[in-house]
Structure 1
Amino acid sequence: MPTQPRITCEIDENQIAIVTLNRPDKLNAIDMEMFQQVNRLTKKLKKERLIRAVIVQGAGSDFCSGLDVKSLLTNKVDALKLLFKWWPTMPNSAQRFSLGWRDIPCPVIFAIHGRCWGGGLQLASGGDFRIASHDANFSIMEAKWGLIPDMGGAVAFREVMRQDHTLELAMTAKVIDSDEAHRIGLVTKVAADPFSAAYELALECINRSPDVLAANKKLYNQTWCSSAGKALFLETWYQIRVALGKNRAVAISRERKPDSKRDYLPRKFE
């Protein structure tokens, strides 16, 4: 049984949730308990209307070295639990581990250092932004173990990388540095201190209406690979909902009277 939580979450005075992968002695390798704790946390954060942004980091020397192969691949029951789904098109537990961050209606920023491999890379790809240190390195590692990436990468990778870049990484299991990851779109930016850069970005975002942040996130997640018709419909519909919300008046007031800095109301957009 785990003797310490696999993840921790603290909410600071700016209503920014700081999530930390907390298995540094195992390079934050993902075991069954980490899958379960992350999935419970994303469900909880999705419902928190006061949370303005989320930053995810890893404790110790590495962000996440991937699956704890020894604990997971030798336990067939746990493997079946992760892969099982009630409906073919719905995410299973392994896929929710990555894609669950997309359902949180505020910016989710991953601050990455050291190794970000396999399941760790799929986890980070479920966020809205990825800021990496200069020494970070990345790999779609599953081919090394005779597997394919199956934790939501088929959704997340296509939105940040070209198909040929994704195929090259998935077929070779090669390790690339942060500069190459940035060049191919896998990383949003590279910074000397990724957590500080992530926090700075979070502060920029929360200067805007929480309803605007939620609407933008939902709009582009739902339409990035959709038909033009669906994109245009949702763009108009979400604009109407945001424009009629009370936080629009707060946003206008903050722009017209910067010194007053009225506080935004809790998010209403779902």
Structure 2
Amino acid sequence: MPEPRVLLHVDGPVASVSLNRPEKLNGVDIAMLRELVTTARRVREDRSVRAVVLRGEGDAFCAGLDFASVMSSPSTIVRSFVPNPLRGQNLFQHAAWVWRELPVPVVAVVHGHCYGAGLQLATAADFRFSTPDARWSVLEAKWGLVPDMSGTASLRELVGGDVARRLTMTGEVLDGTRAHALGLVSGVADDPDVPARELVEAIIARSPDSVAASKALLNRTRHASPRRAFAVERRLQLAMLLAKNTAIARAANVRKEKPAFGERRFGR
């Protein structure tokens, strides 16, 4: 039986998800795309999970699409390229964007190569921490392609339009420090697991419903008019005012105690 392409380990409220093709620098093939979707679904269904840490096994986060493997079956490419009519995403896009759609925050920890599909997966996460010497690139330009695994949506909200055009048109390779300066990366550290864990600990100290609603609020209002954004705010705030975990947070704050939250109830 082949090794799983994606590993999932749940430790209390934190799910660790690892790309698991280290011998291929975690190059993405069709099997990995499918397992990314399946793994995200498992995380979504586990309401005890309150944050996800996404990383790569071995010497790289992800060196991009494994062209040799993917191109070996043209019929599979065609099927995988057709979008689902309900979500408007094909398999390539959904495998990355599904992490942005999760009702819990996703933190990518990046080392080594973060190219092409790897960059698009990392930018679909809510936060990214990188080693200073990690290599980031919208590498599709090298192959005469465009970013097509949700990169259009994630890249434009992280960097300015001119930077997005430059990276997409040139395939320029950035180290982690430069990627941070441009806004691609949330933080840089020799051991990026440390700031990632610190952020996760700060997040899981809050109500899981409030965190999920905050992510939903920012996702849903990203391109909304002020009127539409205010309507979404009102609906989500009403849901939080009525939430059991909000009452737990309020009572704990009054008593100056650490809240003992229940499972996440908000978000599918």
TM-score normalised over the length of structure 2? 0.96
Q: Which amino acid aligns with 1:161?
A: V
Ranges of 4+ aligned residues in structure 1 off by more than 3 Å: none
After TM superposition, give the deviation of residue 258 of structure 1 in Å: 3.6
- Partners of 2:99 and 2:106 within 8 A in 1: yes
2:3 match: 4
After TM superposition, give the deviation of residue 132 of structure 1 in Å: 0.5
CA deviations over 1:181-209 (Å, ceiling 9, x no partner): 11111101111211122111111000000
Distance 1:32 1:64, change over 3 A: same
- Partners of 1:46 and 1:103 within 8 A in 2: no
1:102 and 2:100 matched: yes
Bigger CA drift: 163-172 or 250-259?
250-259
CA deviations over 1:241-264 (Å, ceiling 9, x no partner): 0011111111122223344x3410
How far apart are the structure 1 equivalents of 2:143 and 2:9? 35
How far apart are the structure 2 equivalents of 1:120 and 1:65? 6
How far apart are the structure 2 equivalents of 1:81 and 1:21? 23
1:118 and 2:92 matched: no
How far apart are the structure 1 equivalents of 2:113 and 2:84? 33
- Equivalent residues in 2 for 1:207-226 (5 A)? 207-226=205-224
- Partners of 2:133 and 2:177 within 8 A in 1: no
2:170 match: 172
1:81 match: 79
How far apart are the structure 1 equivalents of 2:27 and 2:256? 46
How far apart are the structure 2 equivalents of 1:89 and 1:97? 12
- Equivalent residues in 2 for 1:1-270 (5 A)? 3-13=2-12, 15-87=13-85, 90-259=88-257, 261-270=258-267
Name the SS for the 1:11 alignment partner: strand
After TM superposition, give the deviation of residue 149 of structure 1 in Å: 0.6
Unmatched runs of 5 consecutive residues or more in structure 2: none
TM-score normalised over the length of structure 1? 0.95
**Percentage of pairs with the same residue:** 38
How far apart are the structure 2 equivalents of 1:149 and 1:126? 13
Aligned-residue RMSD, C-alpha: 1.4
Name the SS for the 2:109 alignment partner: strand
How far apart are the structure 1 equivalents of 2:197 and 2:233? 28
- Partners of 1:98 and 1:126 within 8 A in 2: yes
Q: Which amino acid aligns with 1:4?
A: E
Q: Which amino acid aligns with 2:52?
A: V
Distance 1:251 1:181, change over 3 A: same
Unmatched runs of 5 consecutive residues or more in structure 1: none
- Partners of 2:96 and 2:150 within 8 A in 1: yes
